[in-house]
Amino acid sequence: MVEDFRFLDGKITGDPTVNLPLGFNLKFASKLFPAPMITGSRVIKDWHIFDGAVVCLMIWGRDYFAIQGSGVMIAPGVAMVARHTYDELIENLKNGPEQSLVARVVSFTKDKALFWDVERTAIGDGLDIALLSVKPASDLPTDATYRIARVSTRQQAVGDRVVMVGFRPIKDPFENGTDDQNIQVYCRIGVGHITQIFPEGRPQSNRDMRNLSVFEVNCETIGSMSGGPVFDESGHLIGLLTYGMTGQQLSYVSPFTNAWGIELDTRWPNGLYRPGIPLIEILKICKNVERPQAVSFDDNSDGTKDILYYSWR
């Protein structure tokens, strides 16, 4: 099932936007990814439909690189991954086989592999969600358009149909320049229904995951899909895959309910965002969120802010 390879070229060249000519039209397109008319978990061959919006989180060196998890592009210069995969990446950077290891994000269009350097990160307390400030490190897409997944503030409910997406390595890690450093991955999706919602956490989870707000989906997912995007039936991004239970046909997803206030310092594209900008404000600037007015902030006398969320269906 993973022997039908497609080869995509990609070369790390540095930021391709630095020397763009005056008046060049660099574009960002917000996309929906509606659930296909299938159920269950399977490999898909036409994963170019995600057009660079679904990504791999990787640890990268001259002679060594490995996939840590999956993720999704949600705004210009902003990717979202599972916190636990990023924590594992940091640990591997400290203990890796060489000193020049870095964090990178890799995405795939129908004709190219796109590379992104991870510059900064922001993590929410009690959430399995991390925001990454990323900067392009390879040639522009063929049509000079980067794709991002459109986000929704909609409240999930038991019975909702969702689709989970992620990449899985065919061979990992890659060492000593083997295979000319070809990144060999395949894409899996899982389509199922929300069966339970645990707003205060699932007590049966392991210690690190026990207090995380999650909802349960009756579909199996597998390793390295963690952090992959989860879309509702209309194709809006509603959460990230946190973990699956192999053999039990169950997966658990972190919703965005408590993530809207995560603040990120991101400097690409230059001048687009202010320092320390909350996630919901990033999405509003990019006009990449369904019903943004459902999320607001209430200022406290001590300088902190409370997030106000108005549930809607």
**Residue 97: what pLDDT?**
56
With pLDDT > 90 as the criterion, what percentage of the chain qualifies?
A: 51
Please give the Cα distance from 144 to 147 (Å, whole number). 10
In tens, the pLDDT along 19-61 reads 899 889 999 999 999 988 888 988 888 878 899 999 999 887 7
Q: Give per-residue pLDDT as tens, 112-165.
A: 889 999 999 998 777 899 999 999 999 999 999 999 999 999 999 999 999 999
Can you say how many angstroms the Cα of residue 222 is from the centroid of all Cα atoms in its chain?
16
For the chain, give every domain's residue range.
30-309
pLDDT (mean) for 191-208: 80
* pLDDT higher than 70, residue 209: no
Report which secondary-structure segment, H or E, holds 274.
none
Model confidence at 177: pLDDT above 50? no
pLDDT tens digit sequence for 290-310: 999 999 988 888 877 888 889
Domain 30-309: top CATH class: mainly beta
Indicate yes or no: pTM above 0.95.
no
What number is the average pLDDT over the span 73-102? 82
Which residues does 82 contact at the CB level (< 8 Å), separation at least 6? 69, 71, 128, 129, 130, 226, 227, 240, 241, 242, 254
pLDDT given for residue 205 in this prediction: 63
Distance separating alpha carbons of residues 146 and 280, to the nearest angstrom: 20
Per the prediction, the chain carries an average pLDDT of 86
Where is pLDDT greater, at 8 or 220? Answer: 220
Residues 51-85 pLDDT 10s:
999 999 988 776 677 888 999 999 999 999 999 88
* Confidence bin at 176 (pLDDT 50/70/90): very low
pLDDT of residue 1: 43
* Measured distance CA(216)–CA(240) in Å, rounded: 12
pLDDT at 180: 52
pLDDT at 179: 44
pLDDT of residue 175 exceeding 60: no
Phi, psi dihedral angles at 278 (to 5 degrees): -70, 155
What is the reported pLDDT for 98? 53
